[in-house]
Structures are given as C-alpha cells and as structure tokens.
C-alpha cells in the first residue's frame, strides 16, 4: 500500500499541514522540522500525488525545461531542439534558466509544479536539490545525477575526452594539458577529464590540468589562460572541456604570437553549429544535439504515460564524434 501524507506526518511527528507546507515550501518551517519531514519521506518512499490529473486524462500539454545558461551556445541549441520536438507534438515549453543558484532552481520547481506541467527536463548544474526526489512529477535529466528514479541522458563524455586527447597525441604533442574542472562531481561531464587522463597515461605522458570553471566570466577565463600560456611551462597541446574556453585560448595564443597549430594544438568540446559556422578552424568533439533532444523528449513522454513503470535502464549514453580541423 502506498504511503499517504498522514503517514509522513505521523513518522515525522508533526501535522499533515506542516508536511504539506514543507513539500510546497510555503511559510516558515524550521530546518529541524524540514529535515524530519524529508527523512520520513525518504524512509517511507513517499511521492506527492501530483499525477492524479494525468491519470484522469487532464494533462496541461506543458513541459518545464530547466537549464544552467541559455546564453551558452550548446544549451541554446539543445533548448531549441527540445522546443521544436515538443511543439511538433502539440506541447508548450516553460523555460527556466537556473544559473548557479540552487534557491532559484527550487523556486522554478515550485512554479512548474504550481502550473501543473506534465513533466520536467532538467539539465541545471546545481547539485543537492532534494526536491527532485520528492515531487511526483515525471522528470528526465540531462547530464546530471538527480535521483535513482530519474533517467539520465548524456553524451559519451569519456569517449569524447579520449578522442580529443588521442588527436593531440597523434599530432605529436608530448605535453598535453586539460583545461576545465578536473574535480570529481559524480556527474557525467566529469568523464571528459577521465578520458583525457586515461589517454595521456596510455601514451606514457604526464597529466597536467589548468582549472577553468563553467561560470567564470570570459574576461576572467582569458586572464587565466594568458597566465597559463606565459607561465613558462611546456605546453604543446590543450584539450578544453568546452568550445568557448577553447576559442578564448586560441585568441590569447594569437595575441602572444603563439602559432596554432605549429606551436600549440587545441581541441574543444561541444561542436555547436554556431561554433562550426563562426570558428570553423577549431577542432572539437561534437555532441549529437538533435539526438539528445529527441531522446530526452521520448523518455519524458514514456514517463508521463506511465510514471509507475520501472525503468528499463537509468542511463542513456549517446556517441560523440571528433571534428578534426586546423587547430590540430
């Protein structure tokens, strides 16, 4: 028998009204009480019954999409592909740009639930948001481990890291750097660094890293990249974890009179149409944006149709390809 809200209240030692307020984040509730309610919900595997309207055929034909930055070309193209697919199937999209703000993302989740969206595609970079495990909405994730009950769609980041690094090794590079975030986050994008590290080790080379955070401003990134290039270190190849960082590196190298690819070889990651059109010389690993969007939408439709159905698999890995251009 499925647990009810009153069961959670009894387990947490509070009233059903308090449990409802915690779930909907309404009014002041002490953190101690919130923690007790969340613990009771986890222990009882309680899911708020927000899907009753769907079971009655009362769907809104609206889908919530949460992304980290719609100004980033990759996420902009992914959102556009998702919207195209949804629109062709008669759905409308509510787009939420969560940025690097966990509280903002929580507010978006409450807004989407209040608007009774049929489901959510979540691709934000904020971690540790417990609400993803508590709301009873169908959810599909892009590139983020949200819950054991939420399927993940992602590119093969490990394969991409291997392809990019092997291209640099094959081109004769002996001092290959990884520019990105090498910190283990438990998310699929961390596998780009793993692919780099394993490929470098297999070639008998040393791992070198230079940190570059996703949310740093272009000016800050450019300054750090310039410092790297003028540090006196031996660097003849760089794998950047995204194309925008690779473009900044290419720009700073040219300012310093460093010849690319003669003195320095560069490979990026993402391979959006915008980058291919405007910086066609950049070698990059191409993510399959249309296939990613199609898989995300298809899985969400399946979750909406039967939210209780057991997942056949939790992770969907799509292949990437290397676009070998003039920077290698």
Which residues are 269's β-sheet partners? 285
pLDDT value of position 188: 65
- Strands 321-323, 283-286: pairing kind: antiparallel
Mean pLDDT of 60-69: 89
Q: Roughly what angle, to the nearest 10 degrees, separates helices 16-24 and 5-12?
A: 100
For the domain 60-154+290-312, what is the CATH superfamily, name and number? Response regulator (3.40.50.2300)
Q: How far apart are CA 147 and CA 139, in angstroms?
A: 10
pLDDT of residue 143: 87
Tell the residue number behind the tokens 């290397």, with chain if given: 322
- Residue 135: per-residue pLDDT: 58
CA–CA gap between residue 292 and residue 315 (Å, rounded) = 12
Looking at the predicted structure, is the pLDDT value of residue 49 above 60? no
- Local confidence band at 306 (pLDDT 50, 70, 90 cut-offs): confident
Please report the pLDDT score of residue 70 as a whole number: 87
For the ranges 91-95, 161-165, 318-322, which has the lowest average pLDDT?
91-95
- Confidence check: pLDDT of 53 > 70: no
Q: Answer yes or no: is pLDDT of 203 > 70.
A: yes
Structure tokens at 202: 């297999």
Instruction: Find the Cα–Cα–Cα–Cα dihedral 302, 185, 240, 213, rounded to 10°.
Output: 110
Assigned CATH class of 157-288: alpha beta
- Answer for the pair 313, 163: CB distance below 8 angstroms, yes or no: no
- Note the pLDDT of residue 134: 58
Q: What are the two backbone dihedrals, phi and then psi, of residue 285, each rounded to the nearest 5 degrees? A: -95, 125
* Interval 80-99 mean pLDDT: 93
Same fold, 60-154+290-312 and 157-288: yes
The model's confidence at residue 55, banded by pLDDT at 50, 70 and 90, is very low
pLDDT above 70 (res 90): yes
According to DSSP, the β-strands at 265-270 and 283-286 are parallel
Instruction: Read off the pLDDT of each residue in 102-124 and give the average, rounded to a whole number.
Output: 82
Domain limits of the chain? 5-44, 60-154+290-312, 157-288
- Distance separating the N- and C-terminal Cα atoms of the chain: 60
Euclidean distance between CA atoms 245 and 279, whole angstroms = 13
């Amino acid at each position: 028998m499925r647990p009810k809200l009153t069961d959670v209240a009894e387990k947490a030692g509070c009233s059903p009204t308090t449990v409802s307020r915690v779930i909907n984040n309404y009014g002041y509730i002490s953190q101690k009480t919130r923690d007790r309610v969340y613990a009771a919900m986890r222990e009882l595997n309680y899911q708020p019954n927000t899907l009753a309207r769907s079971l009655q055929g009362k769907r809104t034909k609206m889908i919530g999409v949460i992304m980290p930055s719609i100004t980033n070309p990759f996420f902009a193209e992914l959102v556009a592909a998702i919207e195209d697919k949804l629109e062709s199937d008669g759905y409308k999209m509510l787009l939420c740009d969560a940025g690097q703000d966990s509280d903002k993302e929580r507010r978006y989740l409450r807004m989407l639930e209040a608007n009774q969206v049929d489901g959510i595609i979540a691709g934000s970079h904020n971690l540790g948001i417990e609400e993803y495990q508590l709301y009873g909405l169908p959810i599909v994730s892009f590139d983020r481990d949200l819950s054991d009950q939420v399927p993940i769609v992602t590119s093969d980041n490990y394969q991409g890291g291997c392809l990019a690094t092997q291209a640099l090794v094959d081109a004769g590079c002996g001092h290959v750097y990884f520019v990105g975030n090498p910190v283990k986050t438990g998310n699929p994008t961390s596998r780009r660094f793993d692919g780099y590290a394993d490929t470098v080790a297999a070639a008998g080379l040393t791992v070198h890293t230079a940190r570059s955070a996703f949310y740093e401003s272009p000016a800050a990134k450019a300054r750090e990249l310039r410092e790297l290039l003028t540090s006196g270190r031996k660097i003849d190849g760089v794998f950047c974890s995204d194309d925008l960082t690779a473009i900044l590196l290419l720009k700073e190298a040219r300012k310093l009179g460093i010849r690319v690819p003669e003195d320095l070889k560069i490979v990026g990651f993402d391979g959006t149409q915008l980058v291919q059109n405007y910086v066609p010389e950049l070698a990059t690993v191409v993510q399959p944006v249309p296939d990613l969007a199609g898989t995300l939408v298809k899985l969400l439709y399946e979750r909406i149709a039967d939210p209780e159905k057991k997942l056949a698999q939790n992770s969907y890995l799509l292949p990437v390809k290397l676009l070998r251009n003039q920077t290698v």
